[in-house]
Structure 1
Amino acid sequence: NLRKPSSETDIENWASKHFNKHTQGLFRRKVSIANMLAWSSESIKKPMIMTNDRNVKKEACEIFKLIQMYMGDRRAKTDQLNVALEIATKGWSMQGLRDELYIQLCRQTTENFRYESLARGWELMAICLAFFPPTPKFHSYLEGYIYRHMDPVNDTKVTQHIKEILERTNKKKSKLRKKPKPYIEEHDGVAISTYAKYCYNKLQKAALTGAKKGLKKPNIEEIRHAKNAVFNPSMFGSSLQDIINMQKERYPDRQLPWVQTRLSEEVLALNGDQTEGIFRVPGDIDEVNALKLQVDQWKIPTGLEDPHVPASLLKLWYRELEEPLIPHEFYEQCITHYENPEAAIAVVHSLPRINKMVLCYLIRFLQVFVQPANVAVTKMDVNNLAMVMAPNCLRCQSDDPRIIFENTRKEMSFLRVLIQHLDTSFMEGVL
């Protein structure tokens, strides 16, 4: 679902309207927009974006130095992960700093001909996008900037430019006979377009989900996870097929996603079927975040006590699937046959195999909760369960509030029909 953002010069246009006027040198000459959007080894004396917020003014200059430290362009007092933690925490805590941070990252990854620094700049952008999006007014400009770097042609240009500068440096070195440390190094690292594609997807997701929820600031473990996620994708927000591919090595014989079955088992192990408000009452958000981190490392901690925590994470997993559990092309059939058990079941059996298996496992799981002995305690009958789970299985693509409202009722009815009528006995023992 890539769409080409508007004009190539968007970020320059935006800059001309929102940038502070910067000066340089003895005669305080104005720095052009082009130079303000190009890599610099110098520090900055004021924010790049005009602001009246004193805190943002102060932090903007600090964060520019931190970005330079992370990218290896300035000496750091601490290790790389802690520098990233400081940057992400500042951006997460201070909403007014977010666009400034992203424009600084755009600057430091433009006309930067030291590959190591360039790659680290993109890596840092990926880390930040795991914790907070830019503001809506800057979103499309950042999107355009990232989009332009997704083209492999851009990789060739970068490589070629680095090569040319390296050759020029080597010629100068041979003339001078001295051997100063070359400023440019050859690279055989990851293509910048790989980072850009990852950042593009992260930006789209961050725009929908917003900044990291909860009261706890980002921690070093989350930073490490965000950094590694560029090359080790998360089980959250991926497609079902990608998730199955991820687990191939660990669980070659599993037909269902490990994350789905393990979290479902954990809800039952903690007596979720005998817990009032299960799937309706949210688990503590910081505990849910911590569990998500563990699950992405294929671990389920032993000390869990509250079934609402794995239940909330399970709902989140379904909700964040890259494509809805019931794919868009089946949506109209679902809301057409929301009262017809035979037709609704026929829709399930026409789904792609992986979607059908995952959906049938979910329905079988929910059928445990609608047993009268459990409903008496949980207060979650089939209507309540259908109401909280339908949005995690079906996604209405309309923007019209009336259609969304009308379809919500049909989505719930469709799921209720499946819980009541779908024979899931064939899923017994399937993992």
Structure 2
Amino acid sequence: KEPAEAAMRYSDKPLRDSLLKLSSAAARKDAILLFKRILTFMGEGSYDEKRRANLALQVLEVGFKEPELRDEIFCQLLKQTTGNPSPMGESRAWQLLYWCCGCFGPSKSFEEWLFKVIDERAGPASSGPTRRAAHVCRRELDAICARHIPGRLPPIEWLLGQMQSGVGSSLFRTPLEELMSRQDPALQLEVPLPLVWLTSAVSKANGKGTEGIFRVAANDAQINKLRYALDTPGHLNYAESLCKTDAHVSACLLKQWLRELPEPVIPGSLYEEALATAGDAKAALALVDGKLDALHKRVLYFLIKFLRTFLPPDVQAATKMGASNLATVFAPTMLRAESQDALDMLSKSQTEADFVCTLIEHAT
């Protein structure tokens, strides 16, 4: 299913019908209401930011809860980025589209059309801001559609913070290089702030005295609260309050942050070579030192140095997590096979863990 090409041009008028064929009159009515909300969100009138954020949240909630309307939402927002005479209005449409791409994906039958349109917008024929917005939208869709990372409905506080920061300003699902380019130089950090903050939070919450640290799952609601607090400017104190008594919360979010990197700590191009060195400390370290770029190497060694603090016998006695246990937990966050075949991934999981265990035991 695809929308009519003539309908995919910017309009400041309400829709009379849905852009796609929907199953019922009620669904078509909902589609018309959605477009009214999108128009108001994009408008340049005297609406305060909280009202805009509420409108955005209403659109996200519909898409999150009503799968039939997801493709319609993507169409409506792309329509408003096509031939829009207002740079501000177009920017807001892209921002809402970016949030939608991180919250829910399209139907399987709609993926090809949606990817094609967004890829065209990310091409050289588009302006710089449009290319950038389309690129980060595609990155979010890749995470949800190709890598099956679950979407999340964000709180309004996060939306308000993102409205101030611009499209694609999240600390999650963002390449290491981009995180470093946006990071305040005054922090004088050689690795991204989320990695420093989350590893520190685990330690402050007595992670080294917590049984099953990194293995035991934390409450999903608490993890999401911490995720969005950490990702909202000015909310670090609140973030600290959420995880100071439960190390599992920050430990789970650390794994989530690593797992959602578009390019893992060990890049996909080195995946097979890495597995070939499992159990061979000299070969594994030679691979890391000789083939990882400087940033990925710094991130890897920072993480390994942190994990090695859990190796002393008294810490292992408390956590019940030795090097092999840590490797089993962290291997899926540091390595990513190109194949998404479940049996293939399962067959390589032990070798992945062996490689990471080799690094934990021997990298310094």
Q: What TM-score, normalized by structure 2, do the two folds share?
A: 0.87
Matched, 1:255 2:190: yes
For structure 1, the 5+ residue unaligned runs are 1-13, 20-32, 156-189, 425-431
- More deviation, 354-363/45-54: 45-54
Corresponding residue SS for 1:339: coil
**How many Å separate the matches in 2 of 1:375 and 1:202?**
38
Structure 1 residues 89 and 229: alpha-carbon distance in aligned structure 2, compared to 1, 3 A threshold: farther
For the 8 Å contact 1:147–1:200, the answer to whether it is kept is yes
Identity of aligned residues (%): 30
Q: Which amino acid aligns with 1:196?
A: A
Matched with 1:295 is: 230
For structure 2, the 5+ residue unaligned runs are none
CA deviation string 1:144-194 (max 9, x = no partner): 112222234344xxxxxxxxxxxxxxxxxxxxxxxxxxxxxxxxxx74333
Matched, 1:342 2:289: no
Structure 1 residues 356 and 75: alpha-carbon distance in aligned structure 2, compared to 1, 3 A threshold: closer
The structure with more radius of gyration: 1
Matched with 2:92 is: 120
User: Paired residue for 1:48, among 19, 44, 49?
Assistant: 19
Corresponding residue SS for 1:52: coil
Matched with 1:236 is: 172
Residue 314 (structure 1) shift:
0.8
For the 8 Å contact 1:344–1:414, the answer to whether it is kept is yes
For the 8 Å contact 2:173–2:261, the answer to whether it is kept is yes
**How many Å separate the matches in 2 of 1:324 and 1:263?**
17
Residue 120 (structure 1) shift:
2.7
State how 1:47-196 maps to structure 2 within 5 Å.
47-53=18-24, 55-72=26-43, 79-155=51-127, 191-196=129-134
Matched with 2:151 is: 212
User: Paired residue for 1:389, among 312, 323, 330?
Assistant: 330
User: Paired residue for 1:318, among 258, 261, 264?
Assistant: 258
Structure 1 residues 211 and 333: alpha-carbon distance in aligned structure 2, compared to 1, 3 A threshold: closer
Matched with 1:200 is: 138
Matched, 1:327 2:327: no
Aligned residues: CA RMSD: 2.7
Q: Which amino acid aligns with 1:39?
A: Y
CA deviation string 1:248-286 (max 9, x = no partner): 42313x223332122112111111112122111222222
Residue 37 (structure 1) shift:
2.7
Residue 66 (structure 1) shift:
0.8
For the 8 Å contact 1:51–1:57, the answer to whether it is kept is yes
For the 8 Å contact 1:338–1:414, the answer to whether it is kept is yes
Structure 1 residues 239 and 138: alpha-carbon distance in aligned structure 2, compared to 1, 3 A threshold: same
Count of aligned residue pairs for this structure pair? 356
For the 8 Å contact 2:122–2:131, the answer to whether it is kept is yes
Residue 411 (structure 1) shift:
0.7
For the 8 Å contact 2:211–2:320, the answer to whether it is kept is yes
Structure 1 residues 130 and 222: alpha-carbon distance in aligned structure 2, compared to 1, 3 A threshold: farther
Q: Which amino acid aligns with 1:198?
A: V
Matched with 1:22 is: none
**How many Å separate the matches in 1 of 2:34 and 2:126?**
27
- The structure that is helix-richer by fraction is 2
**How many Å separate the matches in 2 of 1:206 and 1:120?**
22
**How many Å separate the matches in 2 of 1:93 and 1:112?**
29
Q: Which amino acid aligns with 1:268?
A: S
